[in-house]
Amino acid sequence: MPGDAALLELLDRFADAWNRHDLDALMSMMTDDCVFEASAGPDAAGQRSEGQQAVRAAYAAVFDTFPDAHWANPRHFVAGSRGVSEWTFTGTQKEGKAIEVNGCDLFTFRDGRIAIKNSFRKNRPAAPAPHPHEASPTSPVGPPTH
């Protein structure tokens, strides 16, 4: 099994691929029999997707739902075959509702790749996206004053 440093580097590359919306790169870092448990869905584990094809489709659906999806400030730690990434997710749905939430992913590694990605995030309702000249919930900048 790769050491913690190699797995931390894998998680850095994985986070970067999410922010590039690079499905090919994401899937190259996951095992053939990978599992993705989304933070929302009909079951206690959220929506569970199994195998490369199903996981790729689930990841694509995230990018389709949030075309500007971004995971800021990723922080990782690894212990043996398990790992954690913490992040702040921001995105705007096609309907114009914006979301900003903290979350984390719990990982299980096998043979230097990700076998399971189990996602969790705070349950915060989406809000209307701020008008370009209005302050966002996280920005102190208000409308132009000229």
pTM higher than 0.85 for the full model? Answer: no
DSSP 68: T
- What domains appear along the chain, each with residue ranges and CATH number? 4-121 (3.10.450.50)
CA distance 100 to 40: 15
CA distance 117 to 139: 31
What are the tens digits of pLDDT across the range 55-106?
999 999 999 999 999 999 999 999 999 999 999 999 999 889 999 999 999 9
Predicted local confidence at residue 105, as pLDDT: 98
Residue 118 pLDDT > 80:
yes
